[in-house]
Structure 1
Amino acid sequence: MITPGSNITDRFAIVREDMHRRYGQYFYADTIDALLDEKIAQAKATAKIETFLPVTVEREVSSELEQRAEAAGRSGTARPEILFVCERNAGRSQLASAITHQAVGDRVFVRSVGLNPSGGIDPQVLEVLQERGVPTGHMYQKEIVPRTVHRASVVVLMGVDEVPGIPGDRVVRWDIADPAGQPIEKVREIADDVEAHVKNLLDELGKTNFNAA
C-alpha cells in the first residue's frame, strides 16, 4: 500500500515508478508518462481533498493500461526484476544496475538501493561508466522506503553482512571489491568484475543478449 502520510508529490512519483515497473514491457515510457500526467491533472482539477489522489490515479491508469494491453494482444509473464543492494548505494550497486540496464534495456526491471545511502555516487564510478559508454544521467542514490522496493526475482547483496528485510524470490551474494577510495585503474577492474557477474546472472534469467561495453 502507498503510505498515506507521504508527501503527495512523492506518492505520485511512487505511482509513476510502479506503472513503469508493471507496464514498461508493453508500452513506451512516454506513453505511460503521458497517461499518468493526464490522469493526475484531471484528479487534481476535481478533487477537494488530495489524500487519496495517488491511489485513485494508480487504479485508473492501471485499468486503462490493462485494457490497452489486452486489446493489443500483449500478454505474458512479468519482466524479471533485479534489485542490487550495497551499503551506501554509491559504488557497487550503481555499477551493477547501470551495466545491467545498458545490457538488456527494458527486458529486465533493474533497481539499486543502499542500506545507508550517503555522500553521493562515487565520481570514479561515474567516470568509469562514462568511459564504457554507459549512461549516468539518470542515476541517483536511493534508500529502502515503503513502496520503492518490490518483490524482486533476484536480490543481489554486495558488501552487506546480513540479509536485510527485502522481498525477493532469491538472494545472492557477490564478492566484489568496494570502489570507494580506489584509484581509477582499480575501479575499472571492479567494473569488469561486476560485468562478468551481471552476464552470468542474465544468462541464468534467460536474457542472453548481452550488450554492455
Structure 2
Amino acid sequence: MSNRQFDIVREDMHRRYDHMCPPEMVDRVLDETISESVERARIGSFMTVMVEREATDRLEQEVAQGRAMDRRRKELLFVCRRNAGRSQLASALTRWLVGNRIMVRSVGLEPAEGVDPTVVQVLRERGISTRELYQKTIIPRTVHTSDVVVLMGVDEVPGVPGLRYVRWDIDDPEGEPVGRVRVIADEVERHIRGLLEELGVLGKTAA
C-alpha cells in the first residue's frame, strides 16, 4: 500500500476535523491508527477504509470527551435492529442537514449484512453522501453517553448510555419498493428536523 493512499485519508481527516481539533491531534490519532492497522492487517486492499473509520471513531471520542478545542457537541445515537435501513437513513439525513455541528452515530442490535441498497439509492437521489454509511453493533468502546438515543423499531431499551430516550414509529424499509422507501425517508427527515430544532442546532422550519 502506497503512502499516497494514506495521504489522501490524512487530507480528508484534516478537512473534516481541523475546525474541532488541533491539527497535531488529528495527525497523532491517524498515525497511531495506521500503525496499529498495519500490524494486524490481513487484507491490504481495505486498509484505507478501515483506517479512516477507526480514526474517525477516535477523533469523535476526543471531541465528545472534551479533549478537542470546541465545547462538546450534542450527540445523537440512532438505534435499530439491523442497522441497515432506518438508522442509516437517520444518520445520513442528520449529517446532510447539520454537518459536523452535531455528533451522529447509528448502531444495530443485530447488524445485517450490508446497508439496504434501496436506502442507498434513495439517499443518492437526494444528493446525500453515503460514504460514511457502515454498520456497527453496540460495543462499549464506540458508544458513550448520548444526548438523545433514538429507538427505531426496537422495543427494548438497549444497554447504552443516554440522557434521553425517544421512540420513533417509522416503518422498516427492508424489502419495500423504492417509492415506499422515499416516503419513509421523508418521514425520517421530518422527525429529524423536529428533534434538531428542539436541540437548537437547526433553525425552525417555516410553516
The equivalent of 1:130 in structure 2 is 124
- Does residue 1:116 correspond to 2:110, yes or no? yes
Highest Rg: 1 or 2?
1
In the superposition, relative to structure 1, how do residues 31 and 96 fare at CA in structure 2: closer, same or farther (>3 Å)? farther
Secondary structure, counterpart of 2:77 in structure 1: strand
The letter of the residue matching 2:123 is: L
| 1:1-213 equivalences in 2 (<5 Å) | 26-27=20-21, 32-38=25-31, 66=67, 74=69, 77-209=71-203
In the superposition, relative to structure 1, how do residues 26 and 161 fare at CA in structure 2: closer, same or farther (>3 Å)? same
- State the 1:40 CA deviation: 6.3
- State the 1:117 CA deviation: 0.1
- State the 1:26 CA deviation: 2.0
| Aligned-pair identity (%) | 53
- State the 1:36 CA deviation: 1.8
Distance in 1 (CA, whole Å) between partners of 2:24 and 2:180 is: 41
User: Larger relative CO (CA 8 A, sep 6+): 1 or 2?
Assistant: 1
Secondary structure, counterpart of 1:156 in structure 2: strand
**Does structure 1 conserve the Cα–Cα contact (< 8 Å) formed by 2:18 and 2:26?**
no
Show structure 1 runs of 5+ residues with no match: 1-19, 44-57
Secondary structure, counterpart of 1:147 in structure 2: helix
The RMSD of aligned alpha carbons is 3.0
Q: TM-score, normalised by structure 1?
A: 0.69
Show structure 2 runs of 5+ residues with no match: 1-13, 37-57
Q: TM-score, normalised by structure 2?
A: 0.70
Distance in 2 (CA, whole Å) between partners of 1:41 and 1:141 is: 21
Distance in 2 (CA, whole Å) between partners of 1:120 and 1:41 is: 25
